[in-house]
Structure 1
Amino acid sequence: MNPDLEKYMRPQAIESPCVNICVVDPDSDLCIGCGRSRMEIAGWVRMTPVQRRAVMLELPERLAVLTRNRRRKGGARARRASTE
């Protein structure tokens, strides 16, 4: 096959901030792994590279806000204390 044709037939990788921690925070409606909204995640493949880059530039601040606003539940130590 023609090498130039093969180049265009190969699927192109889409840049994504996904870190495979796909849990949406119910208060903010943002994924706690990547910081995207449900609508952004659903429409990611239809966005242009410029649109995706614009969203990705906002993600560090979104994740910082999620971390600051996160309520601590106590983890395993709190669960053990509540059963004692």
Structure 2
Amino acid sequence: MNKPARPATPCIAVCSTGMGDDVCRGCGRTFIEVSQWVMMSEAEREVVWERLEAHWAKAGLPPPWLARGV
């Protein structure tokens, strides 16, 4: 089974880290991951992607970025 394509960022424009959450309720990234995303290497981003995909799979939910139609 092929994995769906990933967008450039897991952001779904429902960020709660700006409101003080340590972890975004929209995508699941930490404040540091959100703020540093554009400066991360591809390898660093891959680590985050894998953690996020595992998080949403464990919750029994599709990753939220898939709903926005990559």
Using structure 2 for the length normalisation, give the TM-score.
0.58
4+ residue runs over 6 A deviation: none
Match of 1:46 among 19, 39, 47: 39
Give the length in aligned residue pairs.
Answer: 51
- 1:35-81 deviation digits (Å, cap 9, x = unpaired): 0000111111110011111101111344556x9xxxxxxxxxxxxxx
Structure 1: gaps (5+ residues)? 1-13, 68-84
Q: For the residues of structure 1 that align with 2:51 and 2:32, how far apart are their CA atoms?
A: 15
Q: Which residue of 2 aligns with 1:33?
A: 26
What value does the CA root-mean-square deviation take over the aligned residues?
Answer: 2.6
| Alignment gaps of 5+ in structure 2 | 1-6, 62-70
**Superposition pairs of residues 39-78 of structure 1, within 5 angstroms:** 39-63=32-56
Corresponding residue to 1:17 among 10, 25, 34? 10
Q: Which has the higher contact order (CA 8 A, sep 6+)?
A: 2
TM-score between both structures, scaled by the size of structure 1: 0.49
Identity of aligned residues (%): 31
Q: Which has the larger radius of gyration?
A: 1
From the two aligned structures, give the one with the greater helix fraction: 1
